[in-house]
Amino acid sequence: MRLRVVLLSSLLILMAPWAWPQQTPTPDTSEIRAHYTKYEFRIPMRDGVHLFTSVYVPKDSSHPYPFLMTRTPYSAAPYGVDQFRARIGPSVEFEKAGYIFVIQDVRGRYMSEGDFLEMHPHIDHPASKSDVDESTDTYDTVEWLLKNVPNNNGSVGIWGISYPGFYTSASIIDSHPAIKAASPEAPMTDLFLGDDAYHGGAFMLSANFGFYWAFRPRTQPITTAPRPPIEYGTNDGYEFFLKMGPLANADKIFFKGANPLWLDQVRHNTYDDYWKARDLSRHMHGIKCAVLTVGGWFDAEDLAGPFKTFHSIDQNNRSIYNGLVIGPWVHGGWARWQGARLGRVAFAADTGEFYRQHILFPFFEQYLKEAGEAKLPKAYVFETGTNVWRQYAAWPPANARSRTLYLRAGGKLSFEAPADGESQYDEYISDPAHPVPYVAYTGPPNVPQEYMLSDQRFAARRPDVLTYASDKLEEDITIVGPVAPHLRVSSSGTDSDFVVKLIDVYPYDYPEESAAPAASASAGAAAATAAAQPPRDVMMPTEAIGGYQQLIRGEPMRAKFRQSWEHPTALTPGQMTEVNFEMPDVNHTFRRGHRIMVQVQSSWFPLTDLNPQTFTDIPNSKPEDFKKATERVYHSQQAASAVMVNVLAH
């Protein structure tokens, strides 16, 4: 949904999908000023509310242009017809090609009138002019633009990342016929089932805390939103949230009732009507335009949303082009970074530039200008491990076959089921006072995006993490689509979390240069010169890339939701039960010589909130509710635990 960060000085840049990394404190707007004229309008909606809209029109009027629109809750700033942005489109290719760029403050945000509703529920059958939603607001906006902005060619495109990705999806439901192309990118789709708010019923604590500290309601139109600093008292997010204590203390100590949006997230801790009304995938019908849904394999905020959106559009709109693009990116990374690497993992190409130049730009050029043919497949996905772009006629690919990775005695992982007579279970003690961190380093209070493929060797060394690893692979194995843990567990408590991580273990002789950070030619020469000279002091050692345990996919599952998201049920202490769930899709090749690993643990802090391990209402839990629990994971022939995967036939 929303780029959740706590570094408030960079919050606006990260949240706004139109923003671009700035090399200087003052962005260079000269190119936009030279080629575009800016106008500002307050466009009337059917219920009388006016939405503030900035329009950038090409100065070259020799031919008509299509509209390319973004609707955002993060501000259409800068305000004033003489104030310009440094970037007004998805990339420089669009600005050079010429479009009429439209940036609109959504209802109830910044300079637009009306009341803001978090992830505004869609109204399938509006009965009057007062029944408004994002679809009707977009329809009215498009109708006004076509009639009042001269030199347009009658075609409209819409795009957005994160929260604006939601507005893109919502805008094309029962869409205006002039909308010819749309690209919802990292669209928040269902906040409880896998997007920003909850994963497996566990609250995404660190990211939501930082986001809602800055994202607050406003009582009247504003041009800037106050962003008071948070007094963390530490640069260690683990320490900060552990000292904060139970979840209720977040509001008691910090928010103090000032942000009802935070309270909504915390208090709606089951899949109730609040969340169901906001699940946009239930309403993706009446779409008349081509759609290109985009996401990143390492998106920490909205990884589930692109897949739910893509599949929902496919099911309800058979006559349009509906494509999916997933690359090796963090949240919104395809729009702002080169995409050549993430942390210590390299992708062998500038994947972000490739996407912007050869996928997104040709898509809009084809459908808004009839300028060539993009020749895009149904699914254009990057295969990590081999670092290759793949094109498929369906997602997941039709030639994928379901296989079962069994947890075995002695920390083994195998496609073969447990044999008769193997030990029945492994166990560990989960202590809420000493939860398992989600990164090895001292993480900041916000969520470092690198965690999505971070090294898991630190976790494998903990006694409260179970580790199962395959033998060295004799051939490549490509796993595609969703990953589904099927656990048989018991607990001495009445509730527990079970976090499952799928991991790629590099061989110990993996070459260091394959993971070296990218550098310029001059920097590389300087590094080579330095390396040729003997060290003058004792340096801090760095952990070798050989043996790296790369996180491929990880998700928590709160056991009380094992039977129903709406009606949680307690665990019976000591009684074995099934905990089955699905993790978001992957497209990863485990190379020959690597090993496949699965880790199981009962906390992932402070990425997710702490489970007291007693069956209680967690937002109102007390310190005395938090108890140690003995967790067992069974792996016998009669009670097997496993991870279901789809293996691609080579």
DSSP string, 586-622: EEEEE-TT-EEEEEEES--BTTSPPP-SSSS-GGG--
What pLDDT, on a 0 to 100 scale, did the predictor assign at position 541?
85
pLDDT grade for 530, boundaries at 50, 70 and 90: low
Using CA atoms, how far residue 444 sits from 234, 240, 266, in Å, is: 9, 9, 22
Average pLDDT of span 495-514: 93
Residue 593, C-beta contacts closer than 8 angstroms, at least 6 positions apart: 472, 473, 507
What pLDDT, on a 0 to 100 scale, did the predictor assign at position 406?
98
What pLDDT, on a 0 to 100 scale, did the predictor assign at position 17?
35
Residue 500 has pLDDT above 60, yes or no: yes
Pick the CATH number of 400-515+540-616+624-648 from 2.60.120.260, 2.40.160.20, 3.40.50.300, 2.20.25.90: 2.60.120.260
Residues in the chain: 650
Q: What is the pLDDT of residues 97-138, one digit of tens each?
A: 999 999 999 999 999 999 999 999 999 999 999 999 999 999
What pLDDT, on a 0 to 100 scale, did the predictor assign at position 27?
86
Reported pTM? 0.93
Average pLDDT of span 299-321: 97
What pLDDT, on a 0 to 100 scale, did the predictor assign at position 532?
62
Q: Tell me if 348 sits within 8 A of 384, measured CB to CB.
A: no
**Interior/surface letters 195-224, b for 16+ CB within 10 angstroms, e for the rest:** bbbbbbbbbbbbbbbbbbbbbbeeeebeee
Q: Where do you find CATH 3.40.50.1820 in the chain?
A: 8-190+278-282
Range ranked top by mean pLDDT from 15-19, 56-60, 125-129:
56-60
Q: Tell me if 272 sits within 8 A of 153, measured CB to CB.
A: no
Q: What is the pLDDT of residues 547-591, one digit of tens each?
A: 999 999 999 999 999 999 999 999 999 999 999 999 999 999 999
Q: Tell me if 312 sits within 8 A of 284, measured CB to CB.
A: yes
CATH number of 8-190+278-282: 3.40.50.1820
What pLDDT, on a 0 to 100 scale, did the predictor assign at position 227?
78
What pLDDT, on a 0 to 100 scale, did the predictor assign at position 24?
44
Is the pLDDT higher at 634 or at 9?
Answer: 634
Query: Any bridge partners for residue 345, and if so which?
Result: 342
What pLDDT, on a 0 to 100 scale, did the predictor assign at position 7?
33
The alpha carbon of residue 166 and the mean position of all alpha carbons in its chain are separated, in whole angstroms, by 12
Residue 246 has pLDDT above 70, yes or no: yes
Residue 263 has pLDDT above 50, yes or no: yes
Structure tokens at 589: 């090749």
Q: Looking at 23-37, 337-351, 376-390, 512-526, which range is the least confident one?
A: 512-526
Structure tokens at 160: 């957005």
Q: Where do you find CATH 2.60.120.260 in the chain?
A: 400-515+540-616+624-648
pLDDT grade for 514, boundaries at 50, 70 and 90: low
What pLDDT, on a 0 to 100 scale, did the predictor assign at position 522?
40
Percent of residues, the chain, with pLDDT higher than 90: 88
Q: What is the pLDDT of residues 180-229, one digit of tens each?
A: 999 999 999 999 999 999 999 999 999 999 999 999 999 889 999 877 88
Cis geometry, peptide bond prior to residue 396 (ω within 30 degrees of 0): yes
What pLDDT, on a 0 to 100 scale, did the predictor assign at position 525?
47
pLDDT grade for 25, boundaries at 50, 70 and 90: low
Q: What is the pLDDT of residues 459-468, one digit of tens each?
A: 999 999 999 9
What pLDDT, on a 0 to 100 scale, did the predictor assign at position 46?
98
Residue 356 has pLDDT above 90, yes or no: yes
Average pLDDT of span 160-183: 98
Mean pLDDT for the chain overall? 93
Average pLDDT of span 292-303: 97
pLDDT grade for 513, boundaries at 50, 70 and 90: low
pLDDT grade for 445, boundaries at 50, 70 and 90: confident
